[in-house]
């Protein structure tokens, strides 16, 4: 049977765009459908605009630091939210346009509409009374933020709306303990909002190394962020004085804004997956094998919609691997082990590999190297910020299993550490690297003494 396209991609985020471009440049007839703006979560409502907001919010702390280095008059600086939002929107539009241009230069057709599956080879273009056929289909629709089902939740926003608020809230309650929650807590606090972070668990950033979690929460509180743990929302009440959040511990908090950062879910609703034989996992993600192939023979899926590792660079690598496998006769699967990641909290986190708890569970005995110190810039003006560096090493083989950092430039530093961890470097090889002085990064290659936890209450 002759099809109109060799490949039809549903979703023009980072993963879908990479797959479409590589396939098109390999000679395939490709179409890409996007119901919103080209660029996906990362470019439009995620990593990129959020990083701009982080940059903006850091200046308030930079101004305080500058005074310690002899600068004066910076305390009178004012932040204008509308000016920033306008500049941010212009830059996001430019980046989205680059994605469009790259698709068109590769020879792919771009459809600005929602697409759903009618069967395994037929796609309906919603609202245009049109269907197209394709030999192969790639689903790259990403994820969407979710709100909990509680009274008054309609009064709250998610991260999607946070990028387009008309005014900067004087106070905000952020609900959640993941990377989105802690990043926006730092953003709003840095811009001048009074911030409360509410999380139902015992500490923020579940799944991260325990030392990292403890260290970041302490540093966030130093910056004026109030963290409420082991507590949940029961309802939100809209009043003339603001949004009243009622907590399960009986406490009420009134803020101008409430933001839910309680998780994201794969965007699969009404895509017609069942009509094409595409199965979902128990968590509602598209089920795929190591080559991103679904349970339908001619349909693949990459990125957040598969809920493997929900990071933009991972989606790009999955999209590249798909195109290599299917259109370049080069079977390729992306290795999801030892993927480095950053949390653009304030201070930021960089991490790769196993946490201490994961390592102890997998290999048994481990050696821990750990330092907590004041960065050089901070010591100059007698600041109280602290950085954390930690390495987890297999005691038997001396292989470095995990590297974790909280502090200035952690995301930049962890990228290089990730190369070493991915290569299977040993602690001795790591130690053979000469330090770059004076830097914070040199602490990683000068840690020689194993860390022995102090006993608390007679228990180590």
Q: Inform me whether the pLDDT recorded for 317 exceeds 50.
A: yes
What residue segments make up the domains of the chain, in order of their start?
A: 5-145+265-327, 153-262, 341-446
Place of tokens 């569970």: 361
Q: Inform me whether the pLDDT recorded for 255 exceeds 70.
A: yes
pLDDT value at residue 458: 46
Give the model confidence (pLDDT) of 109-168 as tens digits: 999 999 999 999 999 999 888 999 999 999 999 999 999 999 999 999 999 999 999 999
Residue 77: which pLDDT band, with cuts at 50, 70 and 90?
confident
Q: How far apart are CA 186 and CA 216, in angstroms?
A: 11
pLDDT, averaged across the chain: 95
Q: Inform me whether the pLDDT recorded for 454 exceeds 80.
A: no
The CATH homologous superfamily to which domain 341-446 belongs is FAD/NAD-linked reductase, C-terminal dimerisation domain (3.30.390.30)
Is 361 noted as a catalytic residue in this protein?
no
CATH of 153-262 among 3.40.50.300, 3.40.47.10, 3.50.50.60, 1.10.3720.10: 3.50.50.60
Domain 5-145+265-327: which CATH class? alpha beta
**Which residue of the set 36, 121, 233, 437 is catalytic?**
437
- Is 5-145+265-327's fold the same as 153-262's? yes
Residue 455: which pLDDT band, with cuts at 50, 70 and 90?
low
Give the model confidence (pLDDT) of 434-451 as tens digits: 999 999 999 999 999 999
Give the model confidence (pLDDT) of 260-306 as tens digits: 999 999 999 999 999 999 999 999 999 999 999 999 999 999 999 99
Q: Inform me whether the pLDDT recorded for 457 exceeds 70.
A: no
């Amino acid at each position: 049977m002759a099809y109109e396209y060799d490949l039809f991609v549903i979703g023009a985020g980072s993963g879908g765009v990479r797959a479409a471009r590589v396939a098109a440049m390999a000679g395939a007839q490709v179409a890409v459908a996007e119901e919103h703006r080209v660029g996906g979560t990362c470019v439009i409502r995620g990593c990129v605009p959020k990083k701009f907001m982080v940059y903006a919010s850091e200046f308030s702390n930079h101004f305080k630091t500058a005074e310690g280095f002899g600068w004066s008059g910076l305390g009178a600086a004012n932040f204008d939210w509308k000016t920033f939002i306008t500049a941010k929107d212009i830059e996001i539009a430019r980046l989205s346009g680059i994605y469009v241009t790259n698709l068109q230069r590769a020879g792919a057709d771009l459809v600005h509409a929602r697409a759903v599956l009618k069967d395994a080879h037929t796609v309906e273009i919603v609202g245009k009374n049109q269907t197209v056929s394709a030999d192969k289909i790639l689903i790259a629709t990403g994820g969407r933020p979710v709100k909990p089902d509680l009274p008054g939740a309609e009064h709250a926003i998610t991260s999607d709306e946070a990028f387009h608020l008309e005014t900067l809230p004087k106070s905000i309650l952020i609900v959640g303990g993941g990377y989105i929650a802690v990043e926006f807590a730092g953003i709003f606090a840095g811009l001048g909002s009074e911030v409360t972070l509410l999380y139902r668990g015992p500490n923020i950033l579940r799944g991260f190394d325990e030392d990292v979690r403890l260290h970041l929460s302490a540093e966030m509180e130093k910056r004026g962020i109030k963290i409420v743990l082991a507590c949940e929302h029961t309802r939100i009440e809209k009043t003339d004085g603001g949004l009243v959040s009622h907590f399960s511990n009986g406490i009420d908090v009134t803020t101008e804004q409430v933001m839910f950062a309680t998780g994201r879910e794969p965007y699969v609703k009404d895509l017609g997956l069942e009509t094409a034989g595409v199965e979902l996992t128990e968590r509602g993600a598209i089920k795929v094998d190591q080559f991103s192939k679904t349970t339908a023979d001619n349909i693949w899926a990459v990125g957040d919609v598969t809920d493997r590792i929900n990071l933009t660079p991972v989606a790009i690598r999955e999209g590249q691997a798909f195109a290599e496998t299917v259109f370049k006769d080069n079977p390729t699967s992306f290795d999801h082990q030892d993927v480095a990641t950053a949390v653009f909290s304030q201070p930021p986190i960089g991490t790769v590999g196993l946490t201490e708890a994961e390592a102890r569970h997998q290999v048994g005995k481990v050696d821990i190297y750990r330092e907590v110190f004041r960065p050089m810039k901070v010591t100059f003006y007698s600041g109280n910020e602290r950085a954390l560096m930690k390495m987890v090493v297999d005691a038997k083989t001396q292989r470095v299993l995990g590297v974790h950092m909280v502090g200035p430039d952690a995301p930049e530093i962890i990228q290089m550490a990730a190369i070493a961890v991915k290569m299977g470097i040993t602690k001795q090889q790591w130690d053979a690297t000469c330090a770059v002085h004076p830097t914070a990064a040199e602490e990683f290659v000068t840690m020689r003494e194993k860390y022995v936890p102090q006993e608390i209450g007679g228990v180590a």
